[in-house]
A and B are shown apart, each in its own frame.
Chain A
Amino acid sequence: MAEGENEVRWDGLCSRDSTTRETALENIRQTILRKSECLRLVKETPHRPSDGLSNTESSDGLNKLLAHLLMLSKRCPFKDVREKSEFILKSIQELGIRIPRPLGQGPSRFIPEKEILQVGSEDAQMHALFADSFAALGRLDNITLVMVFHPQYLESFLKTQHYLLQMDGPLPLHYRHYIGIMAAARHQCSYLVNLHVNDFLHVGGDPKWLNGLENAPQKLQNLGELNKVLAHRPWLITKEHIEGLLKAEEHSWSLAELVHAVVLLTHYHSLASFTFGCGISPEIHCDGGHTFRPPSVSNYCICDITNGNHSVDEMPVNSAENVSVSDSFFEVEALMEKMRQLQECRDEEEASQEEMASRFEIEKRESMFVFSSDDDEVTPARDVSRHFEDTSYGYKDFSRHGMHVPTFRVQDYCWEDHGYSLVNRLYPDVGQLIDEKFHIAYNLTYNTMAMHKDVDTSMLRRAIWNYIHCMFGIRYDDYDYGEINQLLDRSFKVYIKTVVCTPEKVTKRMYESFWRQFKHSEKVHVNLLLIEARMQAELLYALRAITRYMT
């Protein structure tokens, strides 16, 4: 960082005190003005080759600042900061310096921006949430903006994440972010990787580590294997994995550190699922979130910037929806009818024991073959892949070969009784936080389904939850897996399966093709269920292995 005395301090902006924010902003403004002045001078004195490098460097630095300012002008929960940032940007523009503009269409590629809550129009409760989040991280990320569809959950989510990353815990701060990067990289989630690379550097992490796992300390490298297995085939975790980590002489992990790491890994695996599942766009201030290219008139992207953006490519979709509207209407009706039937006939015909057991096996086996046909379109891995090794290792491997997933019985090891106690013992308070988060996610309901009100959705939610656990081989003795087949149709299963197992392959088409009549908030709700169920499944396997190691 060649910024020296010109370094900009953003942290003043996180203050809840408006005067502090104002001074901070004023400082930023002056720094930026000074910098741009310098830049202009350099430009005006022509051809000094020695300066060439520092020139690009300083303009890079300025551009970064401007990008950050742009982010603030859009995403800061404090109105004064938004306005002032915009004002600064304008005044810079008047100096003849190119300013960035946001790229993309709001926080999510799948959800039209107008559906998502605009910063500034939130109610008091949400504002408090936003302010908290902003104060903790200095930003309001796109994930938060999408999750705010469900403020109750968001609150718990942010609290947990804040505790995991910033509060008391056995692991040093840069380790935490690095583990986050490792976990997100397993799913090639460049969005999360970018975010945490910034945070990692901010808390004083060694930039060398970012060149690849082999540059990180041996201790973290040892975690790579667990990360890999946990992300793709958690059922293969054995106590030998745990033992290998805990007994590695000077590189060994302590139990408390390991639990912290496991919680972080599972958190970021599932968060990667959410990122892809909801099509989160890059942050404005990160790469790919903004552009300095002026909007060109000839290009179609003019409409992209002005206001319409989505309106153009939405049109065909809309018309497609119009065509199938009756179809999808039936979809909802049919689903509700099935739920009703299941409710009523449940007591009457009892499936035999064998039948029940085989239903689980069928569902488990089938879940492996549920895959979208457009398998091949793989998103470019970018430079994310360097954060992990063995890229070929994935969920797909085993499903293709029809590997047998052993059955894990929830009645023998469940989160409430066993996992919670273990986590809370080794990493105090986190058990409680995660427990609350699971509860909120599992019990969240508005008693609505698409256009219907007063619907009891517990059956549907349970089916989704258990289906995900079923994919991981986790079985509930007291659940009739036949219900899943009745309630979840194929396109929905494809979506769930992809989001949970190979999130990097989620496409907008998948997102749109399931539950067509449902609202976006409901689809986000589904995603919350997916990520929490996935996190619990991974945690269960990891914690069971730890328990086995301990006994």
Chain B
Amino acid sequence: MEKMSRVTTALGGSVLTGRTMHCHLDAPANAISVCRDAAQVVVAGRSIFKIYAIEEEQFVEKLNLRVGRKPSLNLSCADVVWHQMDENLLATAATNGVVVTWNLGRPSRNKQDQLFTEHKRTVNKVCFHPTEAHVLLSGSQDGFMKCFDLRRKDSVSTFSGEAIEAGPWEWVMVRWVPAHPVPSCILRIHHSFAHGLTRDAESRANEAQESWGCPVYPLGLCSGPQAGQSESVRDVQFSIRDYFTFASTFENGNVQLWDIRRPDRCERMFTAHNGPVFCCDWHPEDRGWLATGGRDKMVKVWDMTTHRAKEMHCVQTIASVARVKWRPECRHHLATCSMMVDHNIYVWDVRRPFVPAAMFEEHRDVTTGIAWRHPHDPSFLLSGSKDSSLCQHLFRDASQPVERANPEGLCYGLFGDLAFAAKESLVAAESGRKPYTGDRRHPIFFKRKLDPAEPFAGLASSALSVFETEPGGGGMRWFVDTAERYALAGRPLAELCDHNAKVARELGRNQVAQTWTMLRIIYCSPGLVPTANLNHSVGKGGSCGLPLMNSFNLKDMAPGLGSETRLDRSKGDARSDTVLLDSSATLITNEDNEETEGSDVPADYLLGDVEGEEDELYLLDPEHAHPEEPECVLPQEAFPLRHEIVDTPPGPEHLQDKADSPHVSGSEADVASLAPVDSSFSLLSVSHALYDSRLPPDFFSALVRDMLHFYAEQGDVQMAVSVLIILGERVRKDIDEQTQEHWYTSYIDLLQRFRLWNVSNEVVKLSTSRAVSCLNQASTTLHVNCSHCKRPMSSRGWVCDRCHRCASMCAVCHHVVKGLFVWCQGCSHGGHLQHIMKWLEGSSHCPAGCGHLCEYS
């Protein structure tokens, strides 16, 4: 607290001044309340009950109300309230169930005025009527609320939190004159009559009214010997605007609205929270706005003026909400404090429920009571705490979490779009600058959202920009098609490879197609496959029908040829290489390629295996390379590939680096495919005959591994996973578990985002990684309702326990469905997938005739 500011506010004559300050109390406080004049505060707790004067610099103890030699439980206060009309009047709620009133005007030292011992359990809350001088309301753990008239010795009416049950109740009928809330006559009614009354209190009251000729309201359920099991009352608050209305909150999550004249039943009841509702507060100005706070860590604002209580705002806090108080003069602000764990006081703008507008961090233990010092001054907040201190907080000194929050957000879309939201000021500054060099992307729309929270207008307004991939990029169609058409299992390896190669080729992805073909050559014994067949498949892909057995597509290699040349020359014995390389070197210069960084990688691919064997193994065909034709396809990588990929097996640090790449792969792969791929071009070919001469498939595993890494890195995690699945044991051992798992999860994630559920499930099923294959073991429970009685079927899925009927009947053909069963989640009717599809094409109503408008998507 460096800047302890001093605030002076003029409020209609009276002037409030002060600073942030605190004073030590002798004992933990349970509640505080402020006097009408905003100059005094009362603090109450188990062993403290004092009045402090709020002076400019400090709190000054003015009066100790805890007098008497023996500490009495009547003085152990759970709550305290100061009358807002009468400066001399206070009321406390004791933990033993006693309600005490105090009159400061009494001349003696003991200011205790009246004692009401009607509650059987702890009283949680007391509340004075905002305008009526003598009316006090209390809410207790025993489930009753009692209305006291301070001029009388006992309560005038009792409100029960629970629905009235028939029982030996005794009724007190009272004539009520609204202006003077003193009963003018009290009538005891006999049991027999009362019994009927409990069932239909209203009509009976009307009867009585007619017979007595005066307005009669049933008042006061005097508990008979059978106390009902009612829920504990946690808070009661008189409405500030409506004279007769008060709200009460309960331990079971309910909130009730009562008319003070009608104790027989509440006007309205609704469930506001999950678990106890600890507090509520009426808005000082907006009629019918009620804020409630509960153990479920929520603050909710309700509009009670409508027919049904409507939740208008909801603020999620980090701990259970013990108190809530609207901030004066700020329509949307309220202060909260917590009962456990969290010691701070927050002021929220209810329209901005995620970040508190202000935060007071002075207390070292939970805050138990908060009060705004003056009903028309928004800058002074008083609080009492379990840490035995009383604080005055100045709004100006509060810390504002908003200032520390990160105001930017970034998200990738499925099709490579990028959304970016930031504080408007930031974006404005940025837009002045030149766009990023070389970025072909541009924001497609730009949106400015104005936050209605005026005090934070500067902070809260943000700009959202969405960047789209270049139009005409072709989208992710290829991904979806490939995913759907690839065959991953169920056939011999050779067939799978061929099939997938065909699919890739048809989609214009020749590089991938060639990879499949190569895989097939590597892993399938060549003798099994007729040569002609191979030729055929290659001939289709390559534009030149040369008598090659197979061909590698070396488009990845092309950029690396320069370096390769160097290396190979140093070796000095690759005759044919030289020819080839010379020719393609020109090709590179022709192509005007800028991406030199990536060039080493594919070269290493080649070198990695060339070095390991006899050069003669590869018959490089120089005639094959026609420099004039633009056969060489360069992947347009969005970011440069790293050198390490090939030479060193990927260590964990690479994994870290790669962690994001498959996720953003959607867009990256997309870019890669933008370039037109007309024909594949074989630079290098493996002679069938030579291959035949004892090269174990294991020999290639390093190459294949690198290939998989390359694809994954490039963004095509689909290829990596598909190959991994198809090759199975053959390569799995070469790639570490974590990487595999990472690929799988990335691919599954992508598939699911494209809603390719079947494919994704197949991938999950075929995966060998434990962490992945358990994905479809989780949450496999389907909850179904019986189509007859509409109730959930608990024990068995297909026969209802209640109506003992088979629930899986087709609503169209009335036969039992075996196999695919589709049903409406709204009306529980359904049947054969085909039947229902057909039916809903023609009609939008449920085929069972229940009248429900079923939706099929």
Contacts and interface: CB of A to CB of B under 8 A. Distances in A.
Contacts of A344: 225
Interface stretch (A41-49, A266-274, A349-357, A494-502): A349-357
Contacts of B777: none
A409 B386 CA distance: 14
B343 A551 contact: yes
A131 B225 contact: no
Interface stretch (B69-77, B178-186, B597-605, B805-813): B69-77
A420 B364 contact: no
A478 B341 contact: no
Contact of A356 (B73, B341, B795): B73
B666 interface: no
B801 interface: yes
Contacts of B364: 551
Contacts of B70: 353-354
Contact of B320 (A421, A458, A547): A421
Given A421-B295, A551-B343, A551-B364, A353 B74 contact: yes
Interface in B295-320: 295, 319-320
Interface residues of A, number: 35
B365 A551 contact: yes
A478 B120 contact: yes
B340 A456 contact: no
Contact of A477 (B96, B276, B795): B96
Given A411-B122, A443-B229, A551-B364, A478 B339 contact: no
Q: Which of B46, B117, B225, B796 has the most CB of A within 10 A?
A: B225
Interface in B63-122: 70, 72-74, 76, 78, 94-97, 117, 119-122
A417 B122 CA distance: 14
A128 interface: yes
B251 interface: yes
A478 B122 contact: yes
A313 interface: no
Nearest to B75: A353
Contacts of B693: none
Contact of B73 (A16, A128, A357, A421): A357
Interface in A395-419: 409, 411-412, 416-418
> Which has the most chain A C-beta neighbours within 10 Å: B28, B73, B278, B319?
B73
B139 to A, nearest CB: 14
B340 A356 contact: no
A131 B796 CA distance: 12
Contacts of B226: 456
| Interface size classification for chain B | 35 or more
B319 A421 contact: yes
A340 interface: yes
B interface: dominant SS = loop
A502 to B, nearest CB: 32
A315 interface: no
Contacts of A350: 117
Contacts of A443: 229
B339 A356 contact: no
A453 to B, nearest CB: 13
Contact of B340 (A128, A340, A412, A547): A547
B794 interface: yes
B117 A411 contact: no
Contacts of B722: none
A550 interface: yes
A156 B141 CA distance: 24
A417 B95 contact: no
A331 B289 CA distance: 56
Contact of A478 (B121, B225, B251, B320): B121
B74 A417 contact: no
B60 interface: no
Contacts of A458: 227, 229
Contacts of A432: 275
A343 B167 CA distance: 15
A128 B72 CA distance: 53
Given A353-B72, A411-B78, A417 B320 contact: yes
Given A458-B227, A477-B96, A551-B343, A420 B73 contact: no
B339 A416 contact: no
A422 interface: yes
Nearest to A127: B795
A53 interface: no
A131 B74 contact: no
A411 B276 CA distance: 16
Contacts of B97: 477-478
Contacts of B365: 551
A128 B122 contact: no
Interface of A: 16, 124, 127-128, 131, 340, 343-344, 346, 350, 353-354, 356-357, 409, 411-412, 416-418, 420-422, 425, 432, 435, 443, 456, 458, 476-478, 547, 550-551
Given A417-B320, A422-B341, 11 more contacts: A16-B795, A353-B73, A411-B76, A420-B295, A421-B295, A421-B319, A421-B339, A421-B341, A432-B275, A477-B97, A478-B121
Closest 4 CB pairs of A and B: A477-B95, A421-B340, A411-B95, A353-B72
15 contacts: A16-B795, A16-B796, A350-B117, A353-B72, A411-B78, A412-B28, A412-B46, A418-B339, A425-B319, A456-B225, A458-B227, A477-B94, A478-B121, A478-B122, A551-B343
